[in-house]
Structure 1
Amino acid sequence: MNILALDLGTSSVRGLVLDERTAPLPGALARRKMRLAVGDDGEGTLDAPGYLACLIECLDELQAAGHLRDVGLVAISAQWHSVLPLDAAGEPLGPVLTWLDTRPEPPGDRSGPADADAFHQRTGTWWHRCYWTARLPWLRARTPAARFVGLAEYVLGALLGEVPMSVSQASGTGLLDLCRLVWDAEACELAGVRSGELPALAPAGWRGRLLPEFARRWPGLDGAAWSAPIGDGAASNVGSGCVDPRRAAVTVGTSAAVRLVQRVPAGAPLPPLPERLWRYRVDHDHVVTGAAYSSGGNLFAWANRELRLPEGAELAAALDRLPPGGGVPADPRFGGDRPPGLAPAGTGTLRGLTFSTTAVEILAGLMTGVCAQVARDLAEIESTVPDPVEVVLGGGAVTASAWWRRAFAAALAPRPVGHQPNPEIGATGAALVALGRLADPADPTVIGRTDDRRSPGPAGGLRP
């Protein structure tokens, strides 16, 4: 049996086919880049019908190439925190608010949770613009919404019929009681949400099926079981092999995050949660604790666009002349803070610039700034477990930059730091969860040391 893994990301939507060992089948990948609408006012939105059309195009491409044969299971990794207002007929009343949108603010006529610490421990979140407790009132003031869903529920609802929300996706809304796995009464009151305005919650082991019209369109998926989506951050931890308290994942894609997974079945007491960290659900049996940042690979995209960086080997050589942790002092919060911080978009700064400062030094300073954020919060995460952790780096941005991997290794020392170069760790992780194989170890041959040193050979390449 093969597995179709869908990655419903912010910058792209992807579909790839894996074999029963979760190894990608050669050439069985379809990808569409998404246009994120961003504005100086903090906007960060996606067009919902356009997103659905791109997903359908990916599935059409895989079907036409014959890659959907023998698919028995569909696994989904989806972005956390997104919200979309719908009318009574289920049609969008505006764009999808992504995690990047910083415009919503908690209503001024409400005082917040009665006990902020108890609320944080129970939901893993804060009364913050990133969560539905603040986003739903903000949207309601602008749209006559009948109900609210996330991006995953919208696109899957179009393909499968109305679908429930997984506990993993629900935990990212800030409305879920992480222990009891029900919508939290106080959080719903803060959000001003009424009965019927939220999706039903998916039970453990939920499976969906394609609507007949799409089963005819993609006969390779006729009869395939669709699993409940899991949050992209949780999927990345699983795909990196970071599924217990001994190993933390640092993922740098469009944004960045540091996370630790622990086994905590539904109904079991939750471990204490430090004030600065969030906690969400991987599934009914595991939680993930961590911190996230609005900047990651998008810093390179900005620098490459605006600073005329050298390309390819020339850029790598220029970075190699700088020590790990080098570059100009920088605050990388170009997109503002993720929870619990409140800094708005446009908070990023560069300091100490001179007429001799190069574009590469600016890029290195921004990369170093992300490393410093992660190092601070990793120390908080370690306070929740008995022993120091080892770290696995993953995501497209660090895979593309050996210098950034070395900078992380320097910032996180003396912890062992490795690298998982699988470019599809989210999709792989979602497949492992759907298969009930979350605890499968990652292949140790692909977790390499990051303390690379320059090769003495004439090619100047890197060797571990």
Structure 2
Amino acid sequence: MAHDVVIGIDLGTTATKVVAYQADGAAVAEASNGYPLEEPSPGRAEQDPRLILDAIYRGLRDVVAEIGADRVRGLSFSSAMHSIMALDSDQEPLTPVLTWADTRAEAEAEMLRQGERGLALHQRTGTPVHPMSPLVKISWFRAHEPDLFGRAAMWVGIKDWILARMTGELVTDHSLASAMGLMDIHRLAWDEEALEIAGITADQLPTLVPTRYVLEGLSPEAASATGIARATPVVVGAGDGPLANLGVGAVHPGVAACSVGTSGALRIAVDRPAVDSRGGVFCYALTEDRWVIGGAINNGGVVLDWVRSELASGDAGLSTAQLLDEAMTVPAGSGGLVMLPYLLGERAPRWGGVARGAYVGLTRSHRRAHLVRAAVEGVALQLTLVKDAMIEAGFEIGEIRATGGVMKHEMWRQTLASAFGSAIGFPESSEGSGFGAALLGMEALGMIESIDVAADMVPIEGTTEPVPADAAVYAELLPVFEELYDVLLPANEALQQVASRLPLAH
């Protein structure tokens, strides 16, 4: 059994999951360690990179203790996309990790997006011009923290820094680079105009490598911290979005992957990079000949977390599942109550403006169950807008496969299927990105012939069909939901100005 597993390491927004997989797709050991997402002021969403590195080391130690180091053929990585941090000349962090949820660069994004270069930049780089984009975040540092900007020797994503610590090589894969707004996806090279906008040079970015690129061995630090042999190869891996498609077997044209974790996304695989003429979708690499097109939303399970914290805090014994059971007693449409779930701003399909959360249509007759159901429906309706934008852009969607922790409950499954007006299949495993990383690693290390085997390795445990009456309600609500974004935009922009001058708490 020596050297028969690849360990997939999935760097998520709030936790890192480490799972060991055999070549037949069976998971033989796993561990998960969390870390905080700090929000020190409105618009900021940061993390301590050292805590993430420690979570990886702890997870690897636990997995290796269970299966034995001699079984490890290699490691392969998945990472949340759009992160950025500055390093000094010794590759030590000058800043925290700015995550995808950090919106401090809203003004810079809006100025660039509305300018004559915005759409062309999106179409060349595949990344929407949005506060999530590392390009825009670097521009923010250039404008607001010029001293720090001047001291930054390198600008990297969290996985880039982790790999540098674990292997001694500072590289970034084409997948995460395609989510930075700095790489020309058609040439697989850093984009000169994007670099000029950011005010940096290509020398301040990691070396670009394919997602199946193999780093030959661990650093002494990593080997000592994990118990894994120094000669163990490390596959660079890719972004969690494209790998989620791979991990649920959505690798063929027309098969869409929908994932709802902290955030959410809907993506389909294509064989060449492309962005629609209106800039409504993103385009990120999985491999050099496999790309994903789609849209991500900022607010998925985080909305239900907030609802539970703020609306059910006095009911300590109430589980999330019980709260959702309560919401299922309310008919679709929540009695005319709509929630705009933009607690962390929003991304697709608008990619701009100052989106903020709201309950609209609230009356004295509404109860907690209505507010909870409206929150779930708001997430489902936002994902439906992404689905419609993809179809309008000319990308065919046939089969849909969905994963994510929230999808374990029937409330989420049924609401999403009815909002989409389409049947949704649910794979047996919910570890899409981590499994995708392991499969990519297996191909790179010669353990499987091709990642195409994923389509047959991921069994569907069940399918949820839309309820026709509920689907009709959501079809009627969707244009109202979409219009509210524009109607409330001026008010949200004014409120943002007020909020910037006010403390959040005493």
Asked whether the two chains share a fold, i.e. TM above 0.5, the reply is yes
Which AA in structure 2 matches 1:448?
Answer: G
Which AA in structure 2 matches 1:124?
Answer: G
C-alpha distance in 2 between matches for 1:109 and 1:12: 31
Contact 2:122 2:181 in 1 (8 A): no
C-alpha distance in 2 between matches for 1:356 and 1:109: 39
Deviates more, 1:432-441 or 1:87-96: 432-441
Deviates more, 1:134-143 or 1:435-444: 435-444
**Which residue does 1:418 correspond to in 2?**
425
Which AA in structure 2 matches 1:93?
Answer: L
C-alpha distance in 2 between matches for 1:355 and 1:402: 28
Which AA in structure 2 matches 1:207?
Answer: V
Contact 1:254 1:397 in 2 (8 A): no
C-alpha distance in 1 between matches for 2:109 and 2:267: 32
Per-residue deviation, 1:73 = 1.9
Residue of structure 1 aligned with 2:234, choices 220, 226, 242: 226
C-alpha distance in 1 between matches for 2:212 and 2:228: 22
Which AA in structure 1 matches 2:407?
Answer: V
Which AA in structure 1 matches 2:16?
Answer: V
Deviates more, 1:109-118 or 1:213-222: 109-118
Per-residue deviation, 1:175 = 0.7
**Which residue does 1:164 correspond to in 2?**
171
C-alpha distance in 2 between matches for 1:102 and 1:109: 11
Identical aligned pairs, as a percentage?
29
C-alpha distance in 1 between matches for 2:353 and 2:22: 44
Contact 2:271 2:289 in 1 (8 A): yes
C-alpha distance in 1 between matches for 2:109 and 2:257: 37
C-alpha distance in 1 between matches for 2:188 and 2:321: 50
SS of residue in 2 equivalent to 1:155: helix
- TM-score with structure 1 length normalisation? 0.89
**Which residue does 2:77 correspond to in 1?**
76
C-alpha distance in 2 between matches for 1:443 and 1:192: 45
Per-residue deviation, 1:79 = 0.7
Contact 1:274 1:380 in 2 (8 A): no
**Which residue does 1:12 correspond to in 2?**
15
Contact 1:324 1:403 in 2 (8 A): no
> Unmatched 5+ residue regions in structure 1?
454-464
Mark the CA change 1:218 to 1:48 in structure 2 (over 3 Å): closer, same or farther.
closer
Contact 1:245 1:385 in 2 (8 A): no
Contact 2:130 2:347 in 1 (8 A): no
**Which residue does 2:37 correspond to in 1?**
36
Per-residue deviation, 1:201 = 0.4
C-alpha distance in 2 between matches for 1:204 and 1:273: 27
Establish whether residue 139 from structure 1 lines up as the match of residue 141 from structure 2. yes
**Which residue does 1:305 correspond to in 2?**
309
Residue of structure 2 aligned with 1:389, choices 398, 408, 413: 398
Per-residue deviation, 1:373 = 1.3
Which AA in structure 2 matches 1:300?
Answer: L
**Which residue does 2:181 correspond to in 1?**
174
> What do residues 234-266 of structure 1 show as CA deviations (whole Å, max 9, x unaligned)?
1111111111222111110000111111112xx
Which AA in structure 2 matches 1:279?
Answer: C
Mark the CA change 1:314 to 1:271 in structure 2 (over 3 Å): closer, same or farther.
closer
Residue of structure 2 aligned with 1:152, choices 140, 159, 162: 159
Contact 1:292 1:338 in 2 (8 A): yes
C-alpha distance in 1 between matches for 2:466 and 2:111: 53
Mark the CA change 1:167 to 1:388 in structure 2 (over 3 Å): closer, same or farther.
closer
Mark the CA change 1:106 to 1:187 in structure 2 (over 3 Å): closer, same or farther.
farther
Contact 2:219 2:230 in 1 (8 A): no
SS of residue in 1 equivalent to 2:343: coil
Q: How many residues align?
A: 444
C-alpha distance in 2 between matches for 1:133 and 1:220: 36
> What do residues 181-225 of structure 1 show as CA deviations (whole Å, max 9, x unaligned)?
000111111111124111110146421120134335544444322
> What do residues 354-377 of structure 1 show as CA deviations (whole Å, max 9, x unaligned)?
334222211110111111111122
Write the mapping of 1:20-419 to structure 2, written as runs, cut at 5 A.
20-25=23-28, 28-105=29-106, 107=108, 115-140=117-142, 141-142=144-145, 143=148, 144-203=151-210, 205-208=212-215, 209-264=217-272, 270=274, 272=276, 274-308=278-312, 310-311=318-319, 314-326=322-334, 328-338=337-347, 340-344=350-354, 347-385=356-394, 387-399=396-408, 401-413=409-421, 415-419=422-426
Which AA in structure 2 matches 1:278?
Answer: F
**Which residue does 1:458 correspond to in 2?**
none
Mark the CA change 1:118 to 1:344 in structure 2 (over 3 Å): closer, same or farther.
closer
Per-residue deviation, 1:384 = 4.5
> What do residues 421-441 of structure 1 show as CA deviations (whole Å, max 9, x unaligned)?
412111111112222332221
Per-residue deviation, 1:324 = 4.3
RMSD: 2.4
**Which residue does 2:481 correspond to in 1?**
none
Mark the CA change 1:69 to 1:53 in structure 2 (over 3 Å): closer, same or farther.
same
Contact 1:392 1:447 in 2 (8 A): no
Per-residue deviation, 1:286 = 1.2
Mark the CA change 1:6 to 1:204 in structure 2 (over 3 Å): closer, same or farther.
closer
- TM-score with structure 2 length normalisation? 0.82
SS of residue in 2 equivalent to 1:350: strand
Residue of structure 1 aligned with 2:451, choices 406, 418, 438: 438
Residue of structure 2 aligned with 1:429, choices 436, 439, 453: 436
Which AA in structure 1 matches 2:206?
Answer: P
Per-residue deviation, 1:333 = 0.6
SS of residue in 1 equivalent to 2:70: coil
Contact 2:133 2:180 in 1 (8 A): yes
Per-residue deviation, 1:83 = 0.2
C-alpha distance in 2 between matches for 1:107 and 1:343: 11
C-alpha distance in 1 between matches for 2:129 and 2:330: 41
Establish whether residue 2 from structure 1 lines up as the match of residue 5 from structure 2. yes
Mark the CA change 1:363 to 1:223 in structure 2 (over 3 Å): closer, same or farther.
same
